Amino acid sequence: MSRTPIESRLHQLHEQLAGQGSGELASYIPQLSAANPDWFGLATTTVDGKAYCAGNSGLEFSIQSVSKPFVYAMALVDRGEDYVLDHVGIEPTGDPFNAVTLSAASGKPLNPMVNAGAIVTSTLVEGKDHRARAERIRDGLSRFAGRELSIDENVARSERDTSDRNRAISYLMKGAGSLEIDVEDALSCYIAQCSVLINAVDLSVMAATLASGGRNPLSNEQVVPPELISPVLTIMSTCGMYDGAGEWMYRVGLPAKSGVSGAIMAVLPNQLGIAAWSPPLDRHGNSVRGVKAMELLSDDLDLHVYFPTGASQSPIRRVTSSQVVRARTGRTPREQEILSTHGNQLRIVELQGSISLLGAQEVVEGIADTSTSESAGWLVLDVRQVAEFHPGALKIVNEALVALVESGVEVAVVETQHAGGRRSPQSWRVRMDRDRDLVLQRFEDELILAECGAMPTPGVLVELGECQILATLTSEQLAVVAGLLSFADHSQGEVLVASGDRPTGISWLLSGEVDLLVPVESLIDSTRLRGIGPGAVFGELTMVNDGFDRASAVTTQPTRIAFLSTHRWDQLELDEPDLASAMLRGLAELLAGRQRRMLELLESMAETQF
């Protein structure tokens, strides 16, 4: 299979940088100085779970300091933000990772990305002793990686034997009161944390988990809550590359974290996790090849988080009204007329895409128009095509909707079952519905009631002369038709026509309601094409052809039907040509009306650019 564009870039970068010989292996942890300086792995994982890699991307190495942001996230989960901020600062040091620097005023470590802050942070995760905390950390890192990770005891032992500097920092912090537990216990847990084994692909998945709001794109587990992502990424941006952080943000522009084993991970929020691993380090303790690879990749694909993205798509997909778009329900000619004349009071606003704060402003202006129409009105806000709302945007749209409701507008939001992003049914402060057709039907009913003072109760009995196709007949002609009809009362749930059957005649609903259902292949159930009520007809195409229709007709309540068999219709055409042609004219008008509505619908769709 040919390589994807990102995959081939990883291979190109690998080829380009593999011969690059500068940098020193970390020597203060003997086990790390045994690394092969040629090792070089690259990997990326997208938030939709596609992983690509090049080079030694399957070789394991100890995670070292790249663990720090993840453990910081765990501490935030376990202790809450206030507690954690109380113990570890968030200011960059400008000093090397192992500097003996504490806040002069409080004795607190300056940030959780340097050793001092990381040692304290690992004491903050939940666990009754250092072993339990180390296990909680190993387990947490495994969830970020989406597989069970283990601790390399050789690395841990090697680091423990040579930890004098970290031990010194810890005693200093203990003395200053910022480390609250025994120094050896604290070191033990911290060293276990640094010795967890991962490979470059794992690291890209871990970064992708940060990129996708804390949800692991492979396992789909929500490892940490989305609210913790911006704090963690912020600290990675300012402190993740130690005293090289400023230059890194300038050149690469991605929140990142490095470690002395030669690993670097970078996060492109909402899109991608990137990992590079190669043991030789620069003077800041960052992988030489890793930094170079990330610089080149970011430059090539403009990954800098502050890269201007330009104008985005309009969040408004379509604004229409029930003059054009209607519920798939049966309406008498009088009701249709009311909707055609006054339907602009029922507005339908369809949104699309990712809604930013700016987009929300446009939405608010779009829906505000609804309240300026002559009566209070109705608004259906269809957000089924919205991929995501920025939380602030959602807040603003909600406020506008609440204001509309307070001004007397009936508002309903139509939302899908599986709304993306952080939206949930609870996100809406106004009424939320899943079925747009039913909301439209209810609002249309209310509009018709408001306009003509009578509710179009489906149960009501209509005269033959009020029925579709028959409305223009004279009373003499109606009497002739009536003589050919058979009348039947059906109870709720009767199948009048099964899907795929030919209707054996024309049926007029005198009362009740019938749902016309079409089987939909992708669904187990059939879907409602439309519901029809008193005065409506089905099987009418048998007047001109065999009337074959994929829809089935099922009563949804006790229903009275007037039925004209195809056989009798054929006879009527022979015996009463004038009457038959009057009825065919009625059919033509019915079809012309449907056609007109269809064209209006198409026009309203063409107005919006897709």
Q: Which residues are catalytic?
A: 65, 68, 190, 242, 260
End-to-end Cα, the chain, rounded Å: 32
Shortest reach from residue 264's CB to ligand GLN, in Å? 11
Residue with Cβ nearer ligand GLN (262 or 421): 262
Shortest reach from residue 27's CB to ligand GLN, in Å? 12
Residue with Cβ nearer ligand GLN (159 or 515): 159
Q: Which residue has the tokens 């040579």?
A: 162
Residue with Cβ nearer ligand GLN (75 or 413): 75
Q: Give the DSSP H or E segment for 562.
A: strand 559-565
Q: Quick check: helix, strand or coil at residue 303?
A: coil
Shortest reach from residue 104's CB to ligand GLN, in Å? 23
Amino acid occupying residue 574: L
Shortest reach from residue 122's CB to ligand GLN, in Å? 11
What does the alpha-carbon distance between residue 2 and residue 577 come to, in Å, rounded to a whole number?
70
User: In whole angstroms, how far apart are CA 373 and each of 317, 382, 423?
Assistant: 21, 20, 30
Is the Cα torsion angle 47, 50, 54, 60 positive or negative in sign? Answer: positive
The two tokens of residue 143 are 């969830």
Which residues of this chain interact with ligand GLN, rule CB under 6 A?
64-65, 97-98, 115, 159, 166, 194, 259-260, 285
Half-sphere exposure of 60 (CA within 13 A, CB side): 11
Q: Quick check: helix, strand or coil at residue 381?
A: strand
Residue with Cβ nearer ligand GLN (252 or 260): 260
Sheet holding 256-258, edge to edge: 51-55, 41-46, 272-277, 263-268, 256-258
Residue with Cβ nearer ligand GLN (259 or 290): 259
Q: Quick check: helix, strand or coil at residue 481?
A: helix
Q: Name the residue number minimizing CB distance to ligand GLN.
A: 65
Shortest reach from residue 113's CB to ligand GLN, in Å? 9
The packing angle between helices 115-124 and 183-194, to 10°, is: 100
Shortest reach from residue 100's CB to ligand GLN, in Å? 12
User: In whole angstroms, how far apart are CA 254 and each of 10, 137, 241, 258, 295?
Assistant: 17, 25, 11, 12, 10
What does the alpha-carbon distance between residue 435 and residue 574 come to, in Å, rounded to a whole number?
46
Half-sphere exposure of 335 (CA within 13 A, CB side): 27
Shortest reach from residue 209's CB to ligand GLN, in Å? 20
Shortest reach from residue 12's CB to ligand GLN, in Å? 28
Residue with Cβ nearer ligand GLN (285 or 456): 285
Residue with Cβ nearer ligand GLN (42 or 192): 192
Residue with Cβ nearer ligand GLN (64 or 477): 64
Amino acid occupying residue 272: L
What does the alpha-carbon distance between residue 434 and residue 2 come to, in Å, rounded to a whole number?
42
Q: Where are the beta strands (DSSP E) in 305-447?
A: 316-321, 346-355, 378-389, 410-414, 432-433
How many residues are listed for the chain in this entry? 610
Amino acid occupying residue 195: S
Shortest reach from residue 520's CB to ligand GLN, in Å? 56
Find out whether 204 and 53 touch, Cβ atoms under 8 Å.
Answer: yes
Is the Cα torsion angle 118, 119, 120, 122 positive or negative in sign? Answer: positive
The two tokens of residue 248 are 């890194």
Query: What's phi and psi for 432, nearest 5 deg?
Result: -120, 135
Find out whether 517 and 449 touch, Cβ atoms under 8 Å.
Answer: no
Residue with Cβ nearer ligand GLN (167 or 390): 167
One-letter-per-residue 3-state SS of 100-116: CCECCCCCCECCCCCHH
